[in-house]
Structure 1
Amino acid sequence: MRLTVFGLGYLGLTHAVCMAELGHEVLGVEVDEAKVARLQAGDVPFYEPGLADLLTKHLDTGLLVISTSYRQAAEWGDVFFIAVGTPQKKGESAADLRYVEAVVDNLAPLVDRDVLVLGKSTVPVGTCAKLVERVRARSQGADIEIAWNPEFLREGFAIEDTLQPDRIVLGRRPSGRAEALTRELYADILRHDTPFILTDPETAELVKVSANAFLATKISFINAIAEVCEAVGADVRAVADAIGYDARIGRRYLNAGIGFGGGCLPKDIRAFMARAGELGASEALTFLREVDNVNMRRRTRMVDVVRGACHGSLLGVNVGILGAAFKPDSDDVRDSPALNVAGQLQLQGASVTVYDPKAIENSKAIFPTLSYAASADDACENADVVMVLTEWPEFVRIDPDDLSALVRTKTIVDGRLCLDRQRWSGCGWTYLT
């Protein structure tokens, strides 16, 4: 099939190259000319394992073409994906839909035949219906069907989650062609008995935001339990392991620490609350406000832990921070808990040096006043406190004896509960969480 993907950020570029990997002819449309030039040269502007290789592969095969032209897109094929960003509105909790709306506003007047538009962006419930009205007001008589096909990507596993998803969700109106075209599009995936969930657009929109809200809730739940464990001296990891054996609960996403971040969960739960308020159902999601509060509280608590380890003052304290990305296998620092903690420490007088395997350049753009190191050893040199704030495997594997020779004081703060407490304590380190 010939298809178009609008928006070549994290979601859109991943989807475009994976659709090419499935054998489709893909046109990727991006309005940022500088980004287009980089992508056409095979340069991925963010880190995602395996993505650069797939981009280069399908630029070479010709199955992926990258352009800035909506007119070229209108003539390319009959299936269009919306994969642009939906950031949080400035000064509000609601999602900013201007980029989603711009896609249909620019495309609709150029289309002269019946086509299908599939939304992949995470949007407030009711967005698809509003886009249908916008298209009707701008189309030149063509039947432009809009349906919603949400994504469920995990950064670090995006290619796997696209090519081997645990489900495909399609929200459509039964009278249209969306189901038939989507089944054809994903035929290779569906051959492996991947669940194909058919529903209406509103339900599909809610599936995505509900999934994110549940994951955020699960993370904040175990962090709330961690606060209680700290009060009584209990072990939150043992609690998580024990309740995780319950099939109704599961162990995944029950790792206590400094909480969630990134470009999805924080903004999506806030937008979900805002949309519920618009619909008169705000009381249904009041619990998400506390989910958000617990999450932000964990960052402040990390600063308090360091201050306590330094006898109540951060002035002149040298802190080595390992990790800047919001999660390993990513260079994404949007709403990064690690950088938030680093910034708070610096504002309170600490000298902070940060190292991350992939996210240094992105970190410098957001926090240019922090110091950055080229290695974990450089970040920890003469440190009074070392903090592990992103659970990269190389940090988990660090030998505490080797690090002992570099630091000024052997104090480690395990912000992700990813280290072996007994091993570090046995090497003479003060281990804190």
Structure 2
Amino acid sequence: MTIQRICCIGAGYVGGPTMAVIADRCPQVRVQVVDINQARIDAWNDADLGKLPVYEPGLDSVVERARGRNLHFSTDVEASIAAADMVFISVNTPTKTKGLGAGQASDLRWVEACARTVAKAAKGHTIVVEKSTLPVRTAAAIQTILEAASEGEDQPTFSVLSNPEFLAEGTAIRDLETPDRVLIGGDDPAAVEALAEIYANWVPQQQILRTNLWSSELSKLTANAFLAQRISSINSIAAFCEASGADVREVARAIGTDSRIGLKFLNAGPGFGGSCFQKDILNLVYLCRHFGLPEVADYWESVVALNTWQQHRIARLVVQKLFGTVTGKRLAILGFAFKADTNDTRESPAIRICRDLLEEGAQLAIHDPKVTAQQIARDLQQEAAPQPDALSGTGSWAEAGSVEDAVTGADAVLVLTEWHHYKVLNWMALAALMRKPAWLFDARAVINPEQVRAAGLTLWRVGDGEG
């Protein structure tokens, strides 16, 4: 079974970069990325590569090489499915906000809609690949929908595979080009090998893992749960370090040299964000309760609870340090994306911290090199506004065009995203623009403490017992 045409439904953070790399590495395969969002498709097709809808280092070069050759972006969903040998489903699976499982279970309405569209439009035999992160046994629902379309003579037939993504935003292209592993789950050996052959164009065979469908689906949830667990664990120790006089970076270095633990994901900070960690853990919690494992559910739920606590703790700490009130005070927020090298703000720690400070009446000046003011407004559920009367008690925020604009007149600076630019700022010059006494709250521990203190700023650094 040789794959000549691929269709990917969903042109977002996963579908776009993944298909771009497949097209780049497999010039013999025609790759069509489809989405019903016309504006998103227009952005992927824009001659200005700086306007791609996803910011990811290296993505523009990959798209430039493949687009128009064997990589195409379109809103013609059904025709693209009909022409494809293999269809990837790469649509959003957010946490449900209402109904059964609200707050924990995944909302699968778009996955089901994709399956029904594939069932309607496919011709001949089509391999359907789950690329979205899905609950265990979602493939059974997809198979049921597709099988209903296979009844009768001359009807399409289908094989369903699970091929979860293991991408870190900011390094997604590197993760795709040199992956730790590629995981393919399925019960049809021919379909599994057809997909494996695609990846084998650039991935060594020993790194292409084959499992059954359910193990593949669960592996994605488990990987994210384990990584998030490490972040919550080190943040719990960071709080203890601040209380006891220890330094969390020294503790992390000491335990990270243990080969059984390792150094990765031991950087204390404002907590995890992004589209996957919280969503996937809550999904795992829901599934554990569904299968009668409440103790296991409680354990994983505590990872999310501590992450939320860490963000509220940082906001409370800012208020406490600034004489018990931030009402009317200007606070410079450096970074709104959930991590550096991405414009993604989903579940960003900055959202909860900023909301808490707005509730306290703060006047926020927010700077981020890649996040738009429109996105910040959506996340904070509050439009940007001029600063009201300082003692009105009403919190407001405004976009700052530069770091200098953000800190001018500010009582404090909060570093919430570890953008490289923030690591090399001239704090002597910036401190002169601030109102005294001035604070720097480094929630990412990326600023040079000696330079900050030499500039006359009072420093709090996450996990630092001297703060």
1:188: which partner in 2?
201
Hey, what's the Cα distance between the residues in 2 that align with 1:399 and 1:250? 33
Hey, what's the Cα distance between the residues in 2 that align with 1:112 and 1:322? 51
CA contact (8 A) 1:166 1:194 kept: no
2:78 to 66, 71, 88: 71
SS at match of 2:68: helix
In the superposition, the TM-score normalised over structure 2's length comes to 0.89
Residue identity in the other structure for 1:416 = R
1:227 to 239, 261, 279: 239
Hey, what's the Cα distance between the residues in 2 that align with 1:381 and 1:156? 30
1:11: which partner in 2?
14
1:96: which partner in 2?
107
Pair 1:383-2:390 in alignment: no
Hey, what's the Cα distance between the residues in 2 that align with 1:71 and 1:334? 30
Deviations 1:368-412 (A, max 9, x none): 232110111111111111110101011111122121211113311
1:309 CA displacement: 1.8
2:136: which partner in 1?
125
Which consecutive aligned stretches of 4+ in structure 1 deviate over 6 angstroms post-superposition? none
Structure 2, unpaired ranges of 5+:
385-396, 462-467
Residue identity in the other structure for 1:263 = S
Hey, what's the Cα distance between the residues in 2 that align with 1:109 and 1:393? 48
Indicate the larger mover: 106-115 or 348-357.
106-115
1:203: which partner in 2?
215
Deviations 1:136-171 (A, max 9, x none): 123353320001011001101111111211101111
CA contact (8 A) 2:9 2:77 kept: no
Aligned pairs for 1:23-422 within 5 A: 23=27, 24-42=29-47, 43-61=51-69, 63-91=70-98, 92=102, 93-140=104-151, 141-173=155-187, 175-190=188-203, 192=204, 195-361=207-373, 362-367=375-380, 368-369=383-384, 370-409=397-436, 410-422=438-450
In the superposition, the TM-score normalised over structure 1's length comes to 0.95
Hey, what's the Cα distance between the residues in 1 that align with 2:199 and 2:72? 20
Pair 1:431-2:446 in alignment: no
Indicate the larger mover: 272-281 or 12-21.
272-281
Residue identity in the other structure for 2:275 = G
CA contact (8 A) 1:324 1:360 kept: no
SS at match of 1:60: coil
**CA RMSD in angstroms, aligned pairs only:** 1.6
Identical-residue share of aligned pairs (%): 35
Indicate the larger mover: 93-102 or 68-77.
68-77
Hey, what's the Cα distance between the residues in 1 that align with 2:193 and 2:159? 13
CA contact (8 A) 1:94 1:270 kept: yes
Hey, what's the Cα distance between the residues in 2 that align with 1:9 and 1:60? 19
CA contact (8 A) 2:78 2:117 kept: no
Hey, what's the Cα distance between the residues in 2 that align with 1:73 and 1:139? 19
Deviations 1:348-382 (A, max 9, x none): 11111010110133223333232110111111111
Deviations 1:215-241 (A, max 9, x none): 110000001111221221211111111
CA contact (8 A) 1:48 1:158 kept: yes
2:465: which partner in 1?
none
